Amino acid sequence: MAEVSGFCGGVKRALGLAYDACRQCAGRVYVAGELVHNKEVMENVKAAGIKLLRDYDLKKITPEDALLIRAHGCPRGQWAKFHKLFNTVIDGTCPHVGRVSKMVECESEKGKYIIIIGDKSHPEVQTLASFAKDDKICIINSEEELDHLQDNLGQVLVIAQSTIDESSFRNFANKISKIYLHAEIKDTICGSSRRRQRAILNFKKKGIQAVVVVGGIHSNNTRTLVQIAQKIGLPAFHVETATDLPIQKLKTFKVIGVIGGASTDEETTKQMVANLLTLGNQMENPSH
């Protein structure tokens, strides 16, 4: 099991705020979008009474109800709308996302053009992009999009989605520096993602033969971990629960590394390790 496991700081904080709100709020607690991209965690959150805010809920909101902004943050334009709808809005934005949003806002006010390396459909990227002024922003996720960048953007600031692969950020940043010689590069990958990505690289150094990555199918940071493992030649299996473990395939490896994504409970990852150890014992002692 990788040394780094369990919820990242941002997810832990947002979940804590969600459960506190459930205990303290006299009305219902809504969350603006999936609190985390993890089915198991979302089931627990829903069981605690937290509701996903949907359009049809808007007419039913009472003064006692509260809204939680998730760790990915929320686009700047939506804040006013939410404050109009709810008397209580709880900011669960991850502090890292908050700091990078502030950076985008400040540098954009100085006139810089912002380039975000990341997935434009991801809520965190949409939050960051909303802090840029006058549409002086673009989001890049492929070489092709890089080729379409105009050459007269003025002063440029390049930042990263918090969960993207460090090496691909470096690759994009190098290429952009060659186009815009004075571009300022800020590696804004968060500490939690960086540590998990490096844990995968360490798996390879330790002679681990395959990797099981535990996390939500739609979790961006979990998918990145799978891709990093595959990129360095380690077979990688993305599983959400123990029932997803591809037992037959895993039986062909002697040493398996297990790591959880940022929105995966440490207990779930530990359970996965326990299941694999049981499988290993059964293979060594088939009669038991």
Binding site for ligand SF4 (CB under 6 A): 8-11, 71, 94, 96-97, 162-163, 190, 192-193, 221, 262
Sign of the alpha-carbon torsion through 84, 85, 86, 92: negative
Rounded to 10 degrees, what is the CA torsion of 6, 9, 14, 18?
60
Helix (H, G, I), strand (E, B) or coil at 39: helix
Task: Name the residue nearer to ligand SF4 (CB basis): 163 or 264.
Answer: 163
Q: By C-beta, is 33 or 154 nearer to ligand SF4?
A: 33
Instruction: Tell the smallest beta-carbon distance from residue 16 to ligand SF4 (Å).
Output: 13
From the CB of residue 118, how many other CB atoms can be counted at a distance below 10 Å?
26
- Identity of the residue, 190 or 239, whose beta carbon is nearer to ligand SF4 in the bound complex: 190
For the bound state, the minimum distance from the C-beta of residue 240 to ligand SF4, rounded and expressed in Å, comes to 18
**Residue 114 near residue 157, CB atoms below 8 Å:** yes
- Residue 274: CB atoms within 10 A of its CB come to 13
Q: Specify the residue, 101 or 221, whose C-beta has the smaller distance to ligand SF4.
A: 221
- Report in angstroms how near the CB of residue 234 gets to ligand SF4 at its nearest: 22
Closest CA to 262 of 1, 3, 11, 2: 11
| Of residues 64 and 266, the one with the C-beta less far from ligand SF4 | 266
Nearest-approach distance from CB 164 to ligand SF4, in angstroms: 11
**What gap in Å lies between CA 250 and CA 272, rounded to an integer?**
12
5 and 205 Cβ atoms separated by less than 8 Å: no
Q: Which residues contact 255 (CB under 8 A, 6 or more apart)?
A: 207, 208, 209
* Least gap, CB of 190 to ligand SF4 (angstroms): 3
As measured in angstroms, the least distance from the Cβ of 9 to ligand SF4 is 5
Measured from the CB atom, the residue of 57 and 166 that comes closer to ligand SF4 is 166
CB atoms within 10 A of CB 256: 22
Side chain identity, residue 206: K
- Quote the least distance from Cβ 56 to ligand SF4, whole Å: 28
Backbone φ and ψ of 184, nearest 5°: -95, 130
**Smaller CB distance to ligand SF4: residue 9 or 235?**
9
Q: How far is the CB of 62 from ligand SF4 (least distance, A)?
A: 30
Residue closest to 81 by CA, chosen among 122, 116, 115, 53: 53
Nearest residue to the partner ligand SF4, using Cβ:
10
Choose between 100 and 276: whose C-beta lies nearer to ligand SF4: 100
